């Protein structure tokens, strides 16, 4: 009886060859995609107000005494950890105030930032 059951199981289900599983397409870890614009959060440390300022790439915006210029904004592809990077030039029209010209990262705001006595500026995102 056991022999008949085993024979029935072996003949009932034909064996299939293993199918090759293709690995998913993934972006290289250093891939950045251009975005048409971005936004920064500007905090006035004196009165604790926070304002979201949105810019297009190549645009210059005045906010209080600051002049902000966005010259590039990039995001990560969906298949790598999310982040955004923007190249900003920030100047203050008051004399003897620090300026900034460089890259800011959304996930690492303290890595490269405007060191200003009145304002904190952080990249909120690109898109």
Helices (H), the chain: 2-12
Please indicate, yes or no, if residue 87 is contained in any of the structural domains: yes
Please indicate, yes or no, if residue 14 is contained in any of the structural domains: no
Please indicate, yes or no, if residue 11 is contained in any of the structural domains: no
For the chain, report the end-to-end CA distance as a whole number of angstroms. Answer: 69
Please indicate, yes or no, if residue 9 is contained in any of the structural domains: no
Please indicate, yes or no, if residue 88 is contained in any of the structural domains: yes
The pTM score is: 0.78
Distance CA 120, CA 30 (A): 28
Look at the chain and report how many structural domains it folds into: 1
Segment among 16-20, 86-90, 99-103 with least mean pLDDT: 16-20
What pLDDT is recorded for position 28? 86
What pLDDT is recorded for position 72? 98
Q: What DSSP state is assigned to residue 48?
A: T
Please indicate, yes or no, if residue 18 is contained in any of the structural domains: no
The angle subtended at Cα 101 by Cα 88 and Cα 58, nearest 5°, is 35
Distance CA 109, CA 121 (A): 9
Please indicate, yes or no, if residue 26 is contained in any of the structural domains: no
Segment among 2-11, 26-35, 83-92, 94-103 with least mean pLDDT: 2-11
pLDDT tens digits for range 50-84: 999 999 999 999 999 999 999 999 999 999 999 99
pLDDT tens digits for range 6-38: 555 556 556 667 788 887 788 888 899 999 999
Domain span at residue 57 reads 32-126
Please indicate, yes or no, if residue 27 is contained in any of the structural domains: no
């Amino acid at each position: 009886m056991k022999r008949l059951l085993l024979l029935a199981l072996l003949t009932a289900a034909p064996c299939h060859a293993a199918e090759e599983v293709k690995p998913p397409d993934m972006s290289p870890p250093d891939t950045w995609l251009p975005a048409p614009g971005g936004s920064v959060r500007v905090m006035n440390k004196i009165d604790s107000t926070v304002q979201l300022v949105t810019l297009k790439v190549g645009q210059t915006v005045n906010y209080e005494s600051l002049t902000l210029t966005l010259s590039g904004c990039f995001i990560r592809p969906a298949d790598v950890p999310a982040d955004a990077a923007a190249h900003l030039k920030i100047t203050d029209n008051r004399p003897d105030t620090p300026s900034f010209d460089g890259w800011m990262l959304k996930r690492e705001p303290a890595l490269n930032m405007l060191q200003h006595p009145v304002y904190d500026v952080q990249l909120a995102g690109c898109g």
